[in-house]
Structure 1
């Protein structure tokens, strides 16, 4: 598994114009801007992400999507683990339904850190998973977190963005 991620990280970094050395130097400290409780979404969906501080070489996140309106219901749960590995930072996640059944049949979706800036990170999968190609998190200001998700469906790229505000404590 580690060799697969090593090759994946190197290939993705080369494609993104980020050197393999820079990817190896990235750490969970570069992701500290994610920490906390974020709430936002898009039309018809309230989405939350709660990120823990890094500890023991991992950072964990929980996400919940709930539809709004008369048919308000849980639509998706996600559990996310970001880990420091010998070859770089890896992002793994799985989706769950309201009954806690998983959407992914063959383990988690795995992506590698491919772009790194100040309060701006992108994780990419190559080849893309069954549906997710990349996720970018960035902060346009101190209390706003933007998530841009690129999806692949039937060979076509699409996706969506979520804008979160820092939730009250």
Structure 2
């Protein structure tokens, strides 16, 4: 199912920003807590893939920050994501699952798409293939690395607070 998402993203166009990082083989995630990324919480919206992308992030509670995402194009939901950033082994990890507009899962039942933390800065969190940046109190950027067999590109989601 991840391949379907990759094909969809390549069909609608990609913005390259060179903002994502990867852990080296054997490298572990740095120490971090949800407090380090609590600035992500809120209701965010922006344009993407010819439609409106929307994310709603909770405040930290119970060792996680949950979120939901939806992409609406041509007045129809294209897909959803549900996920969280969770504290694990003195660090944090971003995990998500994709769903079509009828809530049929893309990943297998017990599978998630995982993005381990690579690097933390004051207003920027680098996960493997997924970077989140606080631009201001009312703007955040997210870059997602999309890989195919032949190439990899980054997609920029520029959000403003709703």
Calculate the TM-score normalised by the size of structure 1.
Answer: 0.76
> Shift of the alpha carbon at 1:43?
5.2
User: Residue 23 of structure 1: SS of its match in structure 2?
Assistant: coil
Match of 1:37 in 2: 43
Are residues 1:158 and 2:153 paired?
Answer: yes
Q: How far apart are residue 118 of structure 1 and its match? A: 1.2
> Gaps (5+ residues) in structure 2?
1-21
* Partner residue in 1 for 2:118: 114
Aligned position for 1:137 = 132
Are the aligned partners of 2:40 and 2:134 in contact in 1 as well (CA < 8 Å)? no
Structure with the bigger RCO (C-alpha within 8 Å, sep 6+) is 2
Q: Greater CA radius of gyration, 1 or 2?
A: 1
Deviations along 1:10-33, one digit per CA (max 9) or x if unpaired, are x92xx39xx85x712x10001111
The CA distance in 2 between the partners of 1:36 and 1:79, in whole Å, is: 15
C-alpha contact (below 8 Å) 2:68/2:82 kept by paired residues:
yes
Cα shift at 1:155: 3.6
1:97 aligned partner:
100
Per-residue CA deviation, residues 22-60 of structure 1 (Å, 9 max, x unaligned), is 712x10001111011001122511001100011111110
Q: Which residue of 2 aligns with 1:23?
A: 30
The separation in 2 between residues aligned to 1:100 and 1:158, in whole angstroms, is 27
1:92 to partner: Cα distance: 0.8
Shift of 1:87: 4.5
Distance 2:66 2:154 in 1: 23
Q: Say how many residue pairs are matched.
A: 139
Q: Secondary structure at the match of 2:130?
A: strand
Structure 2 counterpart SS, 1:33: helix
What is the CA–CA distance in structure 1 between the aligned matches of 2:89 and 2:134, rounded to whole Å?
27
CA distance in 2, matches of 1:109, 1:152: 13
RMSD in angstroms over aligned alpha carbons? 2.0
| Bigger helix share | 1
Tell me the SS of whatever aligns to 2:35: helix
Distance 1:92 1:77 in 2: 14
From 66, 72, 76, the equivalent of 2:75 is 72
Asked if the contact 2:51–2:72 (Cα under 8 Å) also holds between the matched residues in 1, the reply is: yes
Aligned structure 1 segments of 4 or more residues deviating by more than 2 angstroms: none
